[in-house]
Amino acid sequence: MSKTDRKQIAFLGTGLMGAPMVRCLLKAGFPVTVWNRDPAKAAPLVSDGASQAQSPVEVVTGADVVFTMLTNGAAVADVLFDKGVADAMAKGTIVVDCSSIAPPIARENAAKLADRGIRNLDAPVSGGTAGASAGTLAIMAGGDAADVEDLKDVFAALGRVTHVGPSGAGQICKLANQQIVAVTIGAVAEAMVLVEAGGASRAAFRDAIRGGFAESRILDLHGARMVERNFVPGGASANQLKDLDAVMAMAEDLSLTLPLTREVRQEFRDFVDQGGAEKDHSGLLLHLEKLNPKTGKTS
């Protein structure tokens, strides 16, 4: 990549997902300036080649592409509009919001940015911290197809992008993704409880069914977490619950009945209320073990 065609990238939000995404962009040769609400989370990226800004307005000044990877819709709106970021960006800048937020908020943000001459893609991702580090994220982009095409070199550094429709469509697809993730985590966790109660080895069970019809990334990665009892968050249970709440709100608007999603949302709500908010979403196993003390594992 020559110096003349390198897009100047601003990245707001350098937490569990944002930081490894920034490193992938830097490895691909893009100049990246970072900002995080907690400066200490952005500072380590300087040694990887990033520049660190002290304010969200400073980070977007002169940027061609502005990524946001923030906690929720309120945080995105606060940074873009309350903290003056939208007004500090040049016309024609493309905002790529990788946060997981409600589709109506994504559409509202896109309309507000369009009024300022700024392009917008809602582009949530799937693949967790492992995918973010490896540059193998699945990226679901809603917005103008031409804008997705313009950023194909940028997206290539992060993973595989698919244009899924107009503004808001990326968030809709991410919610559907989160449905599948949550229900599958619940299914794997229940199977682990059943296997343990029946006297079989969870690790051997997981190995035995690999490559069969039950094979999935969830069984691979989250099943391993359950066997190893490693619930350090790659994806926090509080965020999983937030996404499931958004799914059910959307289902209500569309008059849909989603019994599996409704049930697994309640299980995550109970787990979060009982102290599991910051545990990885595979930690739903802990909640199910408490419901089934015969497993012999309750912590």
d(CA 190, CA 104): 34
d(CA 106, CA 120): 9
Which one from 91, 174, 279, 297 is the annotated catalytic residue? 174
Which uninterrupted H or E stretch holds 189? Answer: helix 169-198
Measured over the CA atoms of residue 245, residue 249, residue 250 and residue 255, the dihedral's sign is positive
Looking at this protein, which amino acid is placed at residue 286? L
For 200, 227, 267, 270, the CA distances from 292, given in Å and listed in that order, are: 16, 17, 14, 15
How would you classify the pairing of strands 125-126 and 137-142? Answer: antiparallel
CB atoms under 10 Å from CB of 82, counted, come to 11
d(CA 276, CA 238): 8
Which positions ≥6 away from 244 have C-beta within 8 Å? 178, 179, 182, 261, 264, 265, 268
Assigned token pair, 116: 């300022």
174 part of the active site: yes
For 32, 88, 92, 118, 228, the CA distances from 80, given in Å and listed in that order, are: 18, 9, 15, 12, 40
In contact, 71 and 95? CB cutoff 8 Å: no
Assigned token pair, 299: 């912590």
Catalytic residues: 174
